[in-house]
Amino acid sequence: MTVYSPPSDLLAERCVLVTGAGDGIGRAAALAYARHGANVVLLGRTRAKLEAVFDHIAKETKTRPTIVPADLQHLGEDSASALREGIERDYGRLDGILHNASLLGPRNPVEHYPATDWHAVMQVNVNAAFLLTRALLPLLNQSQDASVILTSSGVGRRGRAYWGAYAVAKFATEGLMEVLADECAHAGRVRVNSLNPGGTRTAMRAAAYPTEDPATLPIAESHMPLYLYLMGPDSKGVTGQRFDAKAWQVVTRACPSA
Looking at the annotation, which residues are catalytic? Answer: 166
Q: How far apart are CA 148 and CA 146, in angstroms?
A: 7
Sheet holding 242-244, edge to edge: 66-69, 39-44, 15-19, 96-99, 146-151, 190-196, 242-244
DSSP one-letter code for 126 = I
Cα(220)–Cα(198) distance, rounded to whole angstroms? 10
Pairing of strands 96-99, 15-19: parallel
- CA 39/CA 36 separation, integer angstroms: 9
Cα distances (Å, whole numbers) of residue 258 to 156, 163, 195, 238, 252: 29, 37, 19, 15, 6
Contacts with 144 (C-beta within 8 Å, 6 or more apart), sequence order: 189
Distance CA 79, CA 66 (A): 16
Q: Are 96 and 21 in contact (CB under 8 A)?
A: no
Apex 25 CA angle, 79 and 125, nearest 5: 45
Between the alpha carbon of residue 201 and those of residues 66, 145, 197, 205, 214, the distances in Å are 26, 31, 11, 7, 6
